[in-house]
Amino acid sequence: MAGEPQADCLFCKIVTREVPADVVRETETTVAFRDINPQAPIHVLVIPKVHYPHAAALAAAEPQLAADVLREAGEVAAEEKMESYRMVFNTGSGAGQTVFHAHAHVLGGRGMQWPPG
Ligand code: AMP
Ligand code: ZN
């Protein structure tokens, strides 16, 4: 169910520290940690502590929590001293989503191309 911990969800396990992660920030409602397979010199994931399958489901159910994720992405960028960065929400396997717990990718530390692949 939306918002409930999912036993088989990797990011729910990162929230509870069952799975270790390189956590850079944590708030009451969010966790930010470095991506294990970085696609840029700086690549941090920001997740809500509660489980939603993707960003739109999160925003529909808990708009304040979606705002928390966006704000934390900005805080990560500021801490990492990124003036420019890219925030990405892959949604659906066709768009490259592999972990079905809502997360923002925060990427920077290099130039970014547009359009993305
Ligand atoms: P997505 O493909 O948009 O669902 O993003 C999932 C991201 O999670 C990928 O960029 C993975 O590299 C990353 N990832 C997978 N397992 C871990 C982990 N244990 N710790 C940190 N990042 C992870
Ligand atoms: Zn989860």
Is 74 domain-assigned?
yes
Is 3 domain-assigned?
no
- Which residues span the domain enclosing 90? 10-108
Count how many domains the chain has: 1
Q: Closest ligand 1 atom to the C-alpha of 98?
A: 4
**CATH number of residue 37's parent domain:** 3.30.428.10
| Centroid of ligand 1 to alpha carbon of 90 (angstroms) | 11
Q: Which of 16, 24, 35 for a ligand 1 pocket mutation test, highest count of atoms within 8 Å of Cβ?
A: 35
In the sheet that holds 30-34, the strands lie side by side as 23-26, 30-34, 42-48, 104-108, 85-88
Q: Which of 37, 89, 103 for a ligand 1 pocket mutation test, highest count of atoms within 8 Å of Cβ?
A: 37
**Cα maximum dimension of the chain:** 39
Is 113 domain-assigned?
no
pLDDT at 117: 82
Is 81 domain-assigned?
yes
Tell me the pTM.
0.97
Structure letter (DSSP) for residue 98: -
| Centroid of ligand 1 to alpha carbon of 38 (angstroms) | 9
Using the predicted structure, report yes or no on whether residue 82 has a pLDDT greater than 90: yes
Q: Over range 63-78, report the average pLDDT.
A: 98
Task: Quickly state the pLDDT bin for 56 (edges 50, 70, 90).
Answer: very high
Is 2 domain-assigned?
no
Residue type, 38: P
